[in-house]
């Protein structure tokens, strides 16, 4: 079955370290998204991509970057992790233009 997987599922890191969260989907979807979920804020869009070599900033993109070198993967990089980036991160993908997203199970990141 096609799926979307995130790794690692849990990560603890220190302030100032570079961290990369992986997202891999096997649906061959063109559209991929990264969200973070925080108490009191719901799901906020970090970055998104509508195809290979395409990347766009979302609502809370500062401190994050993405690259899209193939259809299946959209890794999220925190160049210099900050405590404010402690969160649960969700990757999602979609094919249609009607917004139906398929989410991964999430990556819980703690920055100490």
Binding mask 50-69 for another protein (x = CB under 8 A): ------x-xx----------
Q: Are 83 and 13 in contact, with CB atoms under 8 Å apart?
A: no
Q: What is the DSSP letter of 73?
A: B
Binding mask 34-53 for another protein (x = CB under 8 A): -x----xxxxxx--x-----
Torsion of CA 38, 39, 41, 46, to 10 degrees: 0
Closest C-alpha to 24, from 46, 5, 2: 5
| Least distance in angstroms from the C-beta of 41 to another protein | 6
Nearer to another protein, 34 or 81 (CB): 34
| Least distance in angstroms from the C-beta of 79 to another protein | 23
Residues 6+ apart with CB under 8 A from 95: 27, 28, 29, 30, 31
| Least distance in angstroms from the C-beta of 85 to another protein | 19
Binding site for another protein (CB under 8 A): 33, 35, 40-45, 48, 56, 58-59, 90, 92, 98-106
């Amino acid at each position: 079955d096609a799926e979307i997987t995130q790794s690692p599922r849990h990560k603890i890191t220190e302030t100032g370290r570079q961290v990369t969260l992986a997202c891999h989907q096997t649906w061959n979807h063109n559209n991929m998204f990264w969200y973070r979920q925080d108490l009191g804020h719901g799901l906020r869009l970090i970055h998104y991509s509508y195809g290979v070599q395409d990347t766009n900033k979302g609502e809370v993109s500062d401190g994050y970057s993405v690259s899209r070198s193939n259809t299946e993967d959209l890794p999220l990089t925190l160049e210099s992790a900050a405590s404010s980036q402690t969160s649960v991160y969700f990757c999602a993908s979609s094919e249609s233009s009607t917004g139906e997203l398929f989410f991964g199970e999430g990556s819980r990141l703690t920055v100490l």
